[in-house]
Structure 1
Amino acid sequence: MTTINDTTAILPPPDGYVVDFDNPTIQYVTESYAVVAVEMTLCFLFLVQRLYTKIAIMKSFQLEDGVVILAWVFCMGTQVCGLLGLVHGAIGRHAWEISVEKYVFYSKVILASPLLYAIGTCAAKMSLALFYRRLNPNKVFQGFVWFTLFVCPAAYISIFFSLLFACKPIAASWDPLLLALPTTVCLNRGGIYLSQALIGIITDVLLLMLPIPTVLKLQMPNKQKLGLVAIFAVGSITIVTSIVRLIILIPSLTTPDQTWVIGEGFLWIFVEANLLIMCCCLSTLRRFFKHFAPRLIGESSSGNTSKTHSRGFSRNNAHRTFGSAGAKRTLDTLMHTNNDDGIPLSSIDEMYKHGANVTTNARPMCRDSDSEEAILFERSVQVTYENRDDSTVAGGGAAGGYEGRQGNQPRIWTGKRAPGAQ
């Protein structure tokens, strides 16, 4: 420690440097304020979009939605710590232009921020993994998802407690006076910070690669398929920010002027913390725009997707299917929703041409057309041919059969048609 102009600083200034505590040299302070103002707003809007889509439109609040809220709270807490450090003049300034009191405040910020960020990062990545868990029932895919769900909390919990108890006594983590005592023992916190950055990069790569093979198997137009891949590719931005943060972190571990170099590090933390939440909210964007602005994404609204045919029956567009090792599931989007209103029963029109009386009975639905149950429901169809010879009646299909008497007596076909059957 050294005394400069009646103020005790943690480091002496370089030779020839004129210290000015009232107007110190700063870096990345204005940029940090600008990034926080823009990205915090965007992050909040993305979160509101996700919650509105899941609660109001899809009427399905799931576990990953609660985990996203938890991630947002802790990521915001990390940024608040950084902002407090900037406001109090403890970050982005040279250590010899900071009083000991401000350096103690800086040390507390440096301790609290990684602790909060570890929880927020872990929650955000677990939310993505929980969402991926519903994408594909393939056992290999599910194995990777559960591996990610295990690795993320295990790694970040280890980092959390390693940072919290890095020094004995704990107060030595933020009090430079205790560090000078011979009884104080501290771990290499720089190594812990490096481990945190490396774990972040590895888990980011894993979460980016997991859904790509599944998305490529979707039976949908290539344009929409590429759009989904692009949405997942946006998650690669967090990999870039993690790598940049790691590059900045390495020299900061060896320089004594940490309050100066950490300014750039916090700038990238502001960027990454908001991007993590926005990436978690990308999965509901297509469903959100399909509800409010379908033409913006090249789709028609649900009211225009089906054309009315004779006798009130509708013919819908073919359902998209999600390929997997087992039975295929009928899906419209990655969020397991289907906004179609009817079932394509094209053969009904042909039956009317032969003078048949057709009666349909749909199984009552307890949920709206956006639920999975609405995708899988069956419709019973009863067709009666009156005063027809046997030769004029087509044979029964695999889904049902004909029963009745010989001659001109009525013959009845009963059966069930699954969605998409012709």
Structure 2
Amino acid sequence: MRIHLSLSAVLAVLVVGLHAAASDEAFPSCAIKCDRQLFSDCSLSSNTTCFCDSGARPTTLLDCVSSNCTTMEFFTTKRLYEITCDIAPLKSPPVVNPSTLIPLILASFFFIARIFAKSSGLAGGWGWDDYTIIVSYILGVAIYVLNILMIRSGFGRNIWDIVPFSTVTRFYKLFQALAVMYKIQISLAKISVCLFLLRIFQARTFRYLAYVLIGINAAIGITWAFVDSFRCLPTRLTWLGWKNEESGQCINFINSILVNCLVNIFVDSILIMMPVYEVIKLQLPLRKKFTVALMFIVGSVLTIIAIIRVVVFWNNRWGYNQTLGLYPLIHWSVIETQISVMCACLPAFRAIIGRWLPGLLGGTTRRTYATPAAEYYHKSGGNSNINKSVTYEVNYTSRSETNSDVELVDMNGKLVH
């Protein structure tokens, strides 16, 4: 009896599979009905050459199918029409794309350099900025992998060319996971930068602003991760809504993405200007001031990528063909996640360079300063003719060991901050 039931179940699955395959390879009945009603002598079913050579007939047929058939029947009709008329399908983008792989390699290099610097006692030792960037890096790698899985599920192709239709549902599930992880990853990378800045700048106003930015970035990550997770009610419409078979409510996803992009660009701009302004105020040699400021200015690359991302997104706003329309947005999102990790790890890499190749950052120089007491005796014209000068060595490479940006070392052995 059990064997009989098992055989029946297998046969049922095979019948359903064959029926699905057959439905994917044949025009839906509603499409054939539209074809016969609209065209008598030059239809897709009776005179393929005449139909395909016409510019208006295919559009008219697809409009009729869109109004009278289901979404999946419309996609099937469009795919089979293009096959019948010898219209080449859009090729899938490469699974391994240099434009996303190279940023991943760079991010991994600078991340490993940061871990090495921290393990070697450089760059100020371990802190919360390191723990947050570790999580951010892991999420960045996961986003890269998800992007590859999405491409293998038809990402970057026309949605009607993806068969079977279950693959489209799989694509939307992967996209949902990537969207949520992206919001959290970007916020963690920026929080890591803010936590790092709190370790080196002590100005009260600066610290207040840094804490505010940490709160804003945390709110952005949590809010938009929540919005992406529940943008449709019931939530299954997030990956099944493309079929238009169930009723429910979904937010305007285009507006949500646009607002998130603009908010991130604004926060990025503030995050770049804050440390650069503080560095400009420091009394440092011009070369050292420039190298330190440049390290933070490199972070503007992330803002530039965010601007490119929002422009590309706006120019490729999608309709029903979301597997193709979403591709530019996700492509630049993957790049942005890797660049965010790289920018956050640059200071630790600078510490390694400062230890092993100090000449690249200005090296060690010697300067002579007159003490206030010597200047007083020199100007007073008193009985004493003492004119004392003290030679100092300005050490720019000991930041990681003494936890100070610039320290003055008295050549007589005293340490002066």
What TM-score, normalized by structure 1, do the two folds share?
Answer: 0.69
Give the structure 1 partner of residue 271 of structure 2: 207
* SS of alignment partner, residue 317 of structure 1: strand
Distance 1:114 1:335, change over 3 A: farther
- In structure 1, what is the Cα distance between the partners aligned to 2:240 and 2:199? 48
Q: C-alpha offsets along residues 110-139 of structure 1, whole Å, 9 cap, x if unaligned? A: 211110011111110000111111232222
How far does residue 200 in structure 1 lie from its aligned partner after superposition? 1.6
Q: 2:182 aligns with which of 114, 117, 126?
A: 117
Give the structure 2 partner of residue 419 of structure 1: 416
Q: Identical aligned pairs, as a percentage?
A: 20
Matched, 1:318 2:399: no
- Counterpart residue type for residue 25 of structure 2: N
Matches within 5 A, 1:69-80: 69-80=134-145
Give the structure 2 partner of residue 5 of structure 1: 25
- Counterpart residue type for residue 171 of structure 2: Y
Distance 1:9 1:294, change over 3 A: farther
* SS of alignment partner, residue 174 of structure 1: helix
- In structure 1, what is the Cα distance between the partners aligned to 2:208 and 2:405? 31
- In structure 2, what is the Cα distance between the partners aligned to 1:341 and 1:197? 41
Distance 1:344 1:298, change over 3 A: same
Q: 1:187 aligns with which of 251, 259, 262?
A: 251
Distance 1:146 1:339, change over 3 A: closer
Q: CA RMSD in A?
A: 3.4
Give the structure 1 partner of residue 196 of structure 2: 131
Q: Which is richer in helix?
A: 2
- In structure 2, what is the Cα distance between the partners aligned to 1:71 and 1:163? 18
Give the structure 2 partner of residue 384 of structure 1: none
Give the structure 2 partner of residue 229 of structure 1: 293
Q: 2:329 aligns with which of 253, 259, 265?
A: 265
* SS of alignment partner, residue 394 of structure 2: coil
* SS of alignment partner, residue 226 of structure 1: helix
* SS of alignment partner, residue 30 of structure 1: coil
Matches within 5 A, 1:160-309: 160-176=225-241, 179-182=244-247, 184-299=248-363
Distance 1:336 1:199, change over 3 A: farther
How far does residue 17 in structure 1 lie from its aligned partner after superposition? 3.5
Alignment gaps of 5+ in structure 2: 1-21, 28-71, 368-389
Give the structure 2 partner of residue 152 of structure 1: 217
- In structure 2, what is the Cα distance between the partners aligned to 1:63 and 1:163? 27
* SS of alignment partner, residue 281 of structure 1: helix
Larger deviation: 90-99 or 132-141? 132-141
- In structure 2, what is the Cα distance between the partners aligned to 1:44 and 1:261? 29
Whether contact under 8 Å (2:395, 2:409) holds in the other structure is no
Larger deviation: 43-52 or 73-82? 73-82
Whether contact under 8 Å (2:95, 2:152) holds in the other structure is no
What TM-score, normalized by structure 2, do the two folds share?
Answer: 0.69
Q: Which is richer in strand?
A: 1
* SS of alignment partner, residue 318 of structure 1: strand
Distance 1:340 1:161, change over 3 A: closer
Distance 1:257 1:293, change over 3 A: same
Give the structure 2 partner of residue 33 of structure 1: 97
- In structure 2, what is the Cα distance between the partners aligned to 1:19 and 1:236? 50
- In structure 2, what is the Cα distance between the partners aligned to 1:142 and 1:341? 22
Matched, 1:46 2:110: yes
Whether contact under 8 Å (1:10, 1:95) holds in the other structure is no
Larger deviation: 163-172 or 250-259? 250-259
Q: C-alpha offsets along residues 7-37 of structure 1, whole Å, 9 cap, x if unaligned? A: 967735389744799x84236x238622233
Q: C-alpha offsets along residues 303-335 of structure 1, whole Å, 9 cap, x if unaligned? A: x999xxxxxxx9651357xxxxxxxxxx95599
Q: C-alpha offsets along residues 349-398 of structure 1, whole Å, 9 cap, x if unaligned? A: xxxxxxxxxxxxxxxxxxxxxxxxxxxxxx7xxxxxxxxxxxxxxxxxxx
- In structure 2, what is the Cα distance between the partners aligned to 1:209 and 1:19? 58
- In structure 2, what is the Cα distance between the partners aligned to 1:242 and 1:67? 21
- In structure 2, what is the Cα distance between the partners aligned to 1:123 and 1:332? 29
Q: C-alpha offsets along residues 146-191 of structure 1, whole Å, 9 cap, x if unaligned? A: 1101111112211111111111211110013774223x22222222
Whether contact under 8 Å (2:183, 2:221) holds in the other structure is yes
- Counterpart residue type for residue 235 of structure 2: I
- Counterpart residue type for residue 167 of structure 2: K
Give the structure 2 partner of residue 344 of structure 1: 410
- Counterpart residue type for residue 317 of structure 1: E
Q: C-alpha offsets along residues 183-215 of structure 1, whole Å, 9 cap, x if unaligned? A: x22222222222221222111111111111111
